[in-house]
Structure 1
Amino acid sequence: MLSIQNVVKRYGALKAVDDLSLELKPGVLGLIGHNGAGKSSLMQMIATLSKPSSGRIWLDGQDIVAKPDLMRRRLGYLPQDFGVYAQLSALEFLQYFAALKGVRDPARIQRLLELVNLAPHAKRQAASFSGGMRQRLGIAQALLNDPDVLIVDEPTAGLDPEERLRFRQLLSEIGFSKLVIVSTHIVSDVENMAGHLAIMRQGRLIAFESPAELLERARPRVWSAELAPGDYEALRGQVHVLQSQRLGEQIRLRMAADQQPCSTARLSEPSLEEALMALRYAQQDSPAAALGLAA
């Protein structure tokens, strides 16, 4: 559906995106990387807000760099900093954006309000909405034109736990039939909804795998143990600590290591966040290891 071929984005001497290729189909893609990894530059090129310095991007066989309107008609986009017009109600806000996008079906606006659970608040001023309600209103405006590609940037930043769960479920359901690209550095945002993860570092794609595949790679490297404080201090400089917690006279430790780091350590099922950290540490220790790709 969406084909990204050898894309490079330069800003002067800086390569924000460096020879990146991806083939994407409907489903949820988690785009993961630290600030400065190149995620925003990549999304802006997919959304036709900027052009690649080189390389090509195709949507169903059509070159969207040469013909950006082909993507814009089929795109929904929710930026990280989504603003609302304070004086408009949720209904008026969607009516305004529907007019901008050429959507003339009032029933669609009502269906979207129901989809994002804002129908009871349709006539309430958007300025009074919580962060989660604003994000849901943002998703509704992004879906007005029934897009085939939906891009959301750091969608759960600032949301409380309940709103975060609700928002993730909404994106997951949209991904049943559409391509949803979720850019985030919060791994838990995509852990249970993304079919694949695209992990970027310094402009390069270092992994493109399912969460299950990444967990399988990391399982031989994640260990847990309970140690006395003195033993913990002796060990911490020899391993990569993932988590530590004081429990009475003991310290519960989760760590990444190629081999059993101490006699009491046992292999432990990693979370996705721990798996990514363990593989990152393995790659730092041995560039040919773990992900099997250049940093």
Structure 2
Amino acid sequence: MSSLLELQNVTKTFGKGVTAVADLSLRLAPGVVGLIGHNGAGKTTLMQMIATLSAPTSGRILFDGVDIAKRPETIRRRLGFLPQDFGVYRNLTALEFMQYFAALKGVRDPARVRRLLELVNLHEQAGRMASTFSGGMLRRLGIAQALLNDPDILVVDEPTAGLDPEERLRFRNLLADLGCDKLVILSTHIVSDVETIAGQLAIMRSGRLVACATPEQILARARGQVWAASVDAAEVDHLRASTHVLQALRQGEKVALRIAHPHPPCPGAQLSEPNLEEALMAQRYAVLEPA
């Protein structure tokens, strides 16, 4: 099956040689893809290029084989985009806001507006002013507007930022459902946002794609690299300097450590099953090394 979206050696530079994305290549098909990286890794710049808000300095982004920098309309009519800083007209009700964006996108089916408000569980608040909405409700309204044109690609940038745990769970479930027949690209630095819903993780560091794998592959490659140890407090600084300490928890006179290292890092250390966040944090894992 051909890829729905293909990035070929994409680079984006700003100003005096500041490189935000460097020689990035990636092929994506329908499903949920988690774009993982620290703040400043280049995730937002990459998503803006996919959304045709910015063009690559070099390289190409192809949608069904068409270069979107040369023909942006080919992806725009099939794209839904929710940026991190999503603004709403707070003097409009949820229904009025959706009707306004439907008109902008050429959607003439009033029933679709109401179906989408129901999909994001805002149908009972359709008559409320957006200014009274919580952060989670505003993010759900943002997803509803992004889906107005029934897109094939949905791009969402840091969608759970500022949400409480219940709203984050609801939002993740909604994105998982959408990923059944669309390409959903979800950018985040919060691993729990994607570990249960993403079929593929694209990991960025300093503008580069350093790995692209399933969560299961990342965990498998991390096994045999994570250790649990209980040490005296005086040993912690030495271990921080010589290994990658993932977690330190004081327990009485001892400190319980989780450590990433290819070999036993100290006497008494025991191999431990890593979780996904630990696997992604461990800088020496092969999965995170450039190919």
Q: Say which of 132, 135, 146 aligns to 2:136.
A: 132
Q: Say which of 244, 248, 251 aligns to 1:247.
A: 251
Aligned letter for 1:76?
A: G
Which residue of the partner structure matches residue 231 of structure 2? 227
State how far apart, in whole Å, the 1-side matches of 2:203 and 2:241 are: 27
1:233 positional shift: 4.9
Which residue of the partner structure matches residue 286 of structure 1? none
SS of the residue corresponding to residue 168 of structure 1 reads helix
1:26 aligns with 2:30: yes
Which residue of the partner structure matches residue 184 of structure 1? 188
Deviations 1:207-246 (A, max 9, x none): 1111111111111111112233344455443321111112
Which residue of the partner structure matches residue 275 of structure 1? 279
Deviations 1:181-212 (A, max 9, x none): 11111121111111111111222111111111
TM-score (norm 2): 0.94
1:78 aligns with 2:78: no
Distance 1:224 1:94, change over 3 A: same
State how far apart, in whole Å, the 1-side matches of 2:63 and 2:118 are: 30
Which residue of the partner structure matches residue 266 of structure 1? 270
SS of the residue corresponding to residue 237 of structure 1 reads helix
1:100 positional shift: 0.5
Deviations 1:92-128 (A, max 9, x none): 1101100110001111111111110111111111111
Which residue of the partner structure matches residue 4 of structure 1? 7
Deviations 1:53-92 (A, max 9, x none): 1211111122211110111100100010111111111111
Distance 1:236 1:202, change over 3 A: closer
Equivalent pairs counted in the alignment come to 287
1:87 aligns with 2:107: no
State how far apart, in whole Å, the 1-side matches of 2:217 and 2:86 are: 34
Deviations 1:226-273 (A, max 9, x none): 233344455443321111112233322111111111232111111211
State how far apart, in whole Å, the 2-side matches of 1:72 and 1:270 are: 40
State how far apart, in whole Å, the 2-side matches of 1:37 and 1:94 are: 33
State how far apart, in whole Å, the 2-side matches of 1:75 and 1:290 are: 31
Aligned letter for 1:145?
A: N
Aligned letter for 2:49?
A: M
Identity %: 66
User: After alignment, is 113-122 or 9-18 more displaced?
Assistant: 9-18
1:170 aligns with 2:167: no
Aligned letter for 1:291?
A: L
SS of the residue corresponding to residue 151 of structure 1 reads strand
State how far apart, in whole Å, the 1-side matches of 2:189 and 2:230 are: 29
Distance 1:91 1:229, change over 3 A: same
Aligned letter for 2:213?
A: E
User: After alignment, is 2-11 or 154-163 more displaced?
Assistant: 2-11
State how far apart, in whole Å, the 1-side matches of 2:239 and 2:65 are: 54
Which residue of the partner structure matches residue 151 of structure 2? 147
Aligned letter for 2:10?
A: V
User: After alignment, is 226-235 or 129-138 more displaced?
Assistant: 226-235
1:198 aligns with 2:202: yes
1:237 aligns with 2:228: no
Structure 1: unaligned runs, 5 residues or longer: 284-288
User: After alignment, is 130-139 or 44-53 more displaced?
Assistant: 44-53
1:18 positional shift: 1.3
TM-score (norm 1): 0.93
State how far apart, in whole Å, the 2-side matches of 1:52 and 1:234 are: 44
Aligned letter for 2:67?
A: D
Which residue of the partner structure matches residue 44 of structure 1? 48
State how far apart, in whole Å, the 2-side matches of 1:234 and 1:181 are: 40
